[in-house]
Amino acid sequence: MGMLKQAKARGSASEGTSSWGGNNKALAIVRVSSKKQMENNSPAVQGDGMTAYAKKKGLDLVRVEKIHESAKRSKDRRKFHGVLDAAREQGIRHLIFWVWDRTTRNATDAELLEEDVRDDVFVVHLAFEGKVLHKNTPESDWLTADIHTLTAKQYSRDLSRRAIESMTRKAEEGWFPTKAPLGYVNKKLIDEDGHIKDKHGTIELTVWGRKLVRRMGELRLEGRSLSTIAAMVLEEDLVPPKKAWAFSANGKKSRVERVLKDVFYRGDFIWREKLYPGKHEPVFSREEWDAIQASFAIRAPQQNRKHEGLFSQGALRLRCAQCGCAVIYSPKWKGDREYRYYKCTNGKREHDREINIKEEEILEQLGSAVDDIQISDDLAKQIAHALNETHRKAQLAKDREADDFRAKLEDHDKKLNVLFDKMLAGAISDADFNMQRDRIQKDRDACFNALQKTNKHIDGAYLVTAQRVLELAKTAKSLWETQTPEERRDFLAKLLWNPVLDGASVRYDLKKPFRILSEMRESKEWRGRRDSNSRPPA
């Protein structure tokens, strides 16, 4: 605060219109960063204050423009940049803001605005302070503006950090910390005096939400397509009018699929790529949810290929193990009966004789992959527990490392503030200031990059993937027994790769997660090697 007071004390008084030149057309810009701010008196205070300022300075106020968006990142400020572009086109010279942080909280926009002012495109007014920035503004005033930007940027960082910490605590308590998904509502708590609390809200399942989502699940288990489900819930009048667009507009299939695959509806939720057990009321039991997920593993072929083989194209197209040539579908006919055979094209002329193998034999041999990955519920629980425990330990280590970097960042910021105070007080020369600032900033940037790397080092996304693999492995056998040949082929494509035909035998490789699962099932000592598996995921 001492730095800002000194900067303000050194700031010059507002210049007269003779210093500005050009026309007197002005635009007042009111910026708020949240809906709550937009609804209170903050915009009115800004607008009234800037209107009075324009009248006092003899400016022709064209309009007051209200913008609802964060100033944290330049690339997200579409409204702000649109207003500036319109001002240029309309020949508006004067931009009035209430205080500096209403202009920007990022260095990019601050530099762009400075360039426009130095190029004599705009004159910027800060109504509350009576400060004017124009093409002849001295360097000391621009330095003050830089300090304001740095302070506002740090405030945004701290605000974001505290918000994430608060929402993470709420997630750890079992409550989804942001907007509730389809069918649920965010419920505010009420204190003893009947006042609504801003914090510690819960999530409640609506009556219409339970009916709608359960019906979607029922239709999926009946084998209905995603488009059909969207159409039927609309026809059955289960969708509230405000939500109807989601089931009729483009992208309706993906929206239905997202709902049916969302773990929120079984009682869990994902926050910042980590899975949490929720306290909200689920729509489906875990058994029901598992059955719905299994339905997505059964994907019927896009068309009925009566004259094509199961393995004639796609992910499970075979190659010859001996010569590497393609294995083709080569049906043979006896009267009206078709015999479905495959053979190597023998393009390299390495085979002395032609070997034909039946399609059902290929499917049967590839089907042994289902037995390879089948696991019991007990083993699945053991693996899930081990994964969660390993992730928890790695997360704790990462959090400790991140806290160290945050402490170092705060120390660098304090050093910068002290350095600015010395420069404003005239205690050091410009050359010494620039040299020390560059050194501190270099150390700070290195520390910030290390923090970013630490934050990206571990996330919970792999836990979600692992859970889906475990669920598929548990139900693999029951799925296989109920599927058509085409569905079995598509199912196998999820499990294995590189199928080859070696004479009359078929060989394949399991995809990595299923190969590891198969090895763990066969090994009785994998739990004994937890230390070797306890490293953070890459």
Does one domain contain both 509 and 368? yes
- Lowest mean pLDDT of 99-103, 289-293, 458-462, name the range: 458-462
Residue owning tokens 């300090």: 147
State the average pLDDT over residues 274-296.
Answer: 88
Q: Is residue 10 part of a domain?
A: yes
Q: Is the pLDDT of residue 40 over 90?
A: no
Q: Is the pLDDT of residue 469 over 60?
A: yes
Closest by alpha carbon to 148, among 171, 128, 164, 172? 128
- Lowest mean pLDDT of 113-127, 203-217, 289-303, 392-406, name the range: 289-303
Does one domain contain both 377 and 278? no
State the average pLDDT over residues 321-337.
Answer: 82
Q: Is residue 63 part of a domain?
A: yes
State the average pLDDT over residues 20-49.
Answer: 73
Residue after which a domain boundary falls, among 100, 133, 157: 157
Does one domain contain both 372 and 509? yes
Q: Is residue 190 part of a domain?
A: no
The answer to whether the beta carbons of residues 487 and 298 sit under 8 Å apart is yes
CATH code assigned at 121: 3.40.50.1390
Identify which has the larger pLDDT, 44 or 259.
259
Residue after which a domain boundary falls, among 279, 295, 311: 295
The answer to whether the beta carbons of residues 201 and 262 sit under 8 Å apart is no
| Dist. CA 506–CA 503, nearest whole Å | 8
Does one domain contain both 62 and 209? no
Q: SS3 of 72, please?
A: coil
- The predicted pLDDT at position 94 comes to 93
Q: Is the pLDDT of residue 298 over 80?
A: no
The answer to whether the beta carbons of residues 152 and 105 sit under 8 Å apart is yes
Does one domain contain both 255 and 377? no
Identify which has the larger pLDDT, 406 or 200.
406
- Lowest mean pLDDT of 148-162, 163-177, 186-200, 436-450, name the range: 186-200
Q: Is residue 497 part of a domain?
A: yes
Does one domain contain both 223 and 139? no
Q: Percentage of residues in the chain with pLDDT exceeding 90?
A: 13
Sheet holding 505-510, edge to edge: 319-320, 496-502, 505-510
Q: Is residue 463 part of a domain?
A: yes
Q: Is the pLDDT of residue 287 over 50?
A: yes
Q: If pLDDT is split at 50, 70 and 90, which confidence band does 190 have?
A: low
Question: 120 is in which domain, residue-wise?
Answer: 2-157
Number of domains the chain is built from: 3
| Dist. CA 59–CA 221, nearest whole Å | 68
Does one domain contain both 291 and 416? no
Q: Is residue 23 part of a domain?
A: yes
- The predicted pLDDT at position 1 comes to 36
* Interacting residues of 517 by C-beta distance below 8 A, sequence separation 6+: 373, 375, 383, 469, 470, 473
State the average pLDDT over residues 104-129.
Answer: 86
Residue after which a domain boundary falls, among 264, 295, 326: 295
Q: What is the pTM of this model?
A: 0.38
Q: Is the pLDDT of residue 199 over 70?
A: no
Identify which has the larger pLDDT, 7 or 36.
36
Q: What is the chain's mean pLDDT, rounded?
A: 78
- The predicted pLDDT at position 460 comes to 52
Q: SS3 of 46, please?
A: helix
Q: Is the pLDDT of residue 305 over 50?
A: no
Does one domain contain both 210 and 108? no
Q: Is residue 325 part of a domain?
A: no
CATH code assigned at 223: 3.90.1750.20
Tens digit of each residue's pLDDT (9 = 90 or more) over 332-342: 877 667 788 88
Q: Is residue 334 part of a domain?
A: no
Identify which has the larger pLDDT, 211 or 493.
211
Does one domain contain both 127 and 66? yes
Does one domain contain both 384 and 516? yes
Q: Percentage of residues in the chain with pLDDT exceeding 70?
A: 77
Does one domain contain both 121 and 215? no
Does one domain contain both 15 and 105? yes
State the average pLDDT over residues 136-150.
Answer: 81
- The predicted pLDDT at position 27 comes to 92
| Dist. CA 149–CA 458, nearest whole Å | 32
